[in-house]
Structure 1
Amino acid sequence: MQNSFKRYCKTMELLNDPTLIEAYKKAHAKGAAWPEITQGMKEVGIIDMEIYLFGTKLFMIMDTIADFDHDKVMAELVLKPRQSEWEVHMSQFQDSSAEATADQKWQLMDRIYKMDK
């Protein structure tokens, strides 16, 4: 049976500053993300997204529509309303360049194991 969605897992580092980490968590609390950002993700085919934190390491699970073309969509997403503004705002927390796009900051991970059914 073929999945009706694709799953991507990504990682990124935050700056090692407890105050900034708390602020990052607040920026991602339920209802805190800018509505334009969530709407833009939905428009390009991102069905669901979760972000987890361990120390300074972020781990993202992103579920998308089945025919999602990651590279094409990331280039489209950056053009959505307020996306570049959000990236600049988030860069104060992240261990990366302020000019980097979301796709440059979030590194795709390779799945190395899947449990047999």
Structure 2
Amino acid sequence: MKTKRYALACDLKDSPELIAEYIELHKNVWPEIIESIKAAGIEDMEIYNIGNRLFMIMEVNDEFSFDKKAEMDTNNPKVQEWENFMWKFQQELPMAKSGEKWMLLESIFKL
């Protein structure tokens, strides 16, 4: 099965305490969240941090779609609990629509 890669960005609130807590929480992500990520067709996911900016790389299989993932997340109370909790730490990127967290990045170079 061939995978596809997506890159996304999100900002954290510019608070060293909140950023440290966010990083600590991601060392032990809730098992239900890991399950939902895998069930959506995400084969691998990494999140990187610099300052208050987050960068995510997702490797997905042929079963993955952003619409399917959004529908699954909407219907999963534990994912909704996690996402609402994460808003304590996250904020929209300057160009995001209201309530939009992770924004898809456009690939502009590949070696």
Q: Which of the five TM-score ranges fits, normalised by the shorter chain?
A: 0.7 to 0.9
User: Where do 5+ consecutive residues of structure 2 fail to align?
Assistant: 93-97
Q: Which of 73, 82, 103 is the aligned partner of 1:86?
A: 82
Moved over 3 A (4+): none
Aligned partner of residue 82 in structure 1, secondary structure: helix
When normalised by structure 2's length, the TM-score is: 0.87
Aligned partner of residue 90 in structure 2, secondary structure: coil
Aligned partner of residue 33 in structure 1, secondary structure: coil
Q: How do 1:24-43 residues align onto structure 2 when only pairs under 5 Å count?
A: 24-29=22-27, 32-43=28-39
Aligned partner of residue 112 in structure 1, secondary structure: coil
Residue in 2 that maps onto 1:21: 19
Q: CA deviation at 1:66?
A: 2.4
> CA–CA distance in 2 between the matches of 1:44 and 1:65?
9
When normalised by structure 1's length, the TM-score is: 0.83
User: Where do 5+ consecutive residues of structure 1 fail to align?
Assistant: none
Q: CA RMSD in A?
A: 1.7
1:62 paired with 2:58, answer: yes
> CA–CA distance in 2 between the matches of 1:93 and 1:60?
16
Amino acid at match of 1:36: E
Q: CA deviation at 1:105?
A: 0.5
Amino acid at match of 1:95: Q
Alignment coverage as a number of residue pairs: 106
User: 1:5-28 CA distances to partner (integer Å, 9 max, x unpaired)?
Assistant: 011100001000000000000000
Identical aligned residues as a percent = 40
Residue in 1 that maps onto 2:95: none
Q: Which of 70, 73, 77 is the aligned partner of 1:77?
A: 73
